Amino acid sequence: MFRPTPSKVRTCARNTVKSLAKRTSINVVACPQRNFTSLNNTFKRNSTPHTQSNQVRCYADAKEVTVKVPDLGDSISEGYVQSYLFEVGQSFKEDDVVVQLETDKATADVRAPASGTLTAQLAKIKDAVSVGAELFKFTPGDAPAATEAAPKDIKKEEPKKEEPKKEVKKEEPKKEEPKKEAPKSTPAPTSSKSTPATSGSSRGETRSPMSRMRLKIGSRLKEAQNTYAMLTTFNEIDMSGITNLREKYKDAFQEKHGVKLGFMSAFVAASAQALKEFPSVNAVIDGEDIVHRDYVDISVAVATPSGLVVPVLRDCDQKSYADIEKNIGELGEKARKGGITMEDMKGGTFTISNGGVFGSLFGTPIINPPQSAILGMHGTFKRPVVINDQIVIRPMMYVALTYDHRIIDGREGVLFLKRIKSLVEDPAQLLLA
């Protein structure tokens, strides 16, 4: 490829400017000097599409841009290179995801600050990289490599088409022999029966490394067991009140607010109200001090293919029932698409875990540090219960509250859970609150 000197490049650009009015069929693809950037854009607007041979290309030494590891969020200082989505020499557009980093909480995407061509991968897969470390280099600009790659691929494919033609001619005389051997292929069914028998009796083992998120989850849960004086109290909730409310107003609610009326929002709203009435459940121990929070940020545990993530609903005590439902829907959609960010999981004063979506009947949740309590929801099942001395069938749910007994007394823990039970069974109280 022709690469003129910088002086010839400037001369080339000046001559092109002078002849622009007469030679509009010439397309200047790249101009290396800053003074000619606007001229380059003018050429692209005024020119028409051309073939490769009609293009005039001016090249210069373009400066490489080095992209570093961005800020990964609160208390996260490093991540691990999970994958490169572009190989060296491939072009990408601005805001394309180039590298995916795995952290202790989620997967972070590193995007391209501008369009360009990847020139170097400065970290290997599974390498630990700290915030500010160099990740990759690229040459900015709309690289013509993508347009040039097409004819190269076509040329490589042409000889491949000729080879099978020659092989077909050689195989023509051999086609007569398999016709005679066709009846010999009948024993194949017997061999196919033996293969599943051997595969079914396999007793092999497969070892795979744990993800950084899974390792961190295990470490934090074990740390909670070793640090907190965890105690769990249980209760049961008659879900007929919220079920009837949902059946009666779900269409009107969706038409007005654009989201479906679910059960989780009722528990979030009830928990927010109970946390304001029992501030010790919303507090946390820090060293030898007790930190009381004047705000209510509720973490909602969500299971994803890569592990458990806990996005946070901010200021739940200040939001309406509809606002809470909207936020839950937004976070659920982001979780399904793998778009939960570090900022979404930062903070939290109380956690709700809903094992009922998987059919759980009963369980004891583990506190999510640095919080002091967690509410565990379970499945709703019809059971016979006694109401007004009558045995009736009602949809019932067991709920569990695990709390840190160092800061929350048994009386407060039991009354806190009873308050949630009362609010959910009579959802009109949530609207009045």
Give the catalytic positions in this structure.
Answer: 405, 409
- Tally of CB atoms within 10 A around 394: 18
Spatial contact of 267 and 377, defined as CB atoms under 8 Å apart:
yes
| CA neighbor of 310 nearest in space, from 326, 295, 332, 294 | 332
Q: Residue 88's Cα: distance from chain center in Å?
A: 25
* Cα–Cα distance for residue pair 309/340, rounded to 1 Å: 8
- Which residues 6+ apart lie within 8 Å of 245 measured at CB? 261, 427
Look up residue 405 and give its two tokens.
Answer: 């007994």
DSSP 276-310: HH-GGGG-EEETTEEEPPSS--EEE-EEETTEEE-
Provide the CB-side half-sphere exposure for 185 (13 A, CA): 5
* Cα–Cα distance for residue pair 427/243, rounded to 1 Å: 10
* Cα–Cα distance for residue pair 138/147, rounded to 1 Å: 18
Spatial contact of 404 and 367, defined as CB atoms under 8 Å apart:
yes
Peptide bond into 305 cis (omega under 30): no
Place of tokens 């190989």: 87
Classified as helix, coil or strand, 46 is helix
Place of tokens 């859970």: 417
The 8-class DSSP code of residue 306 comes to T
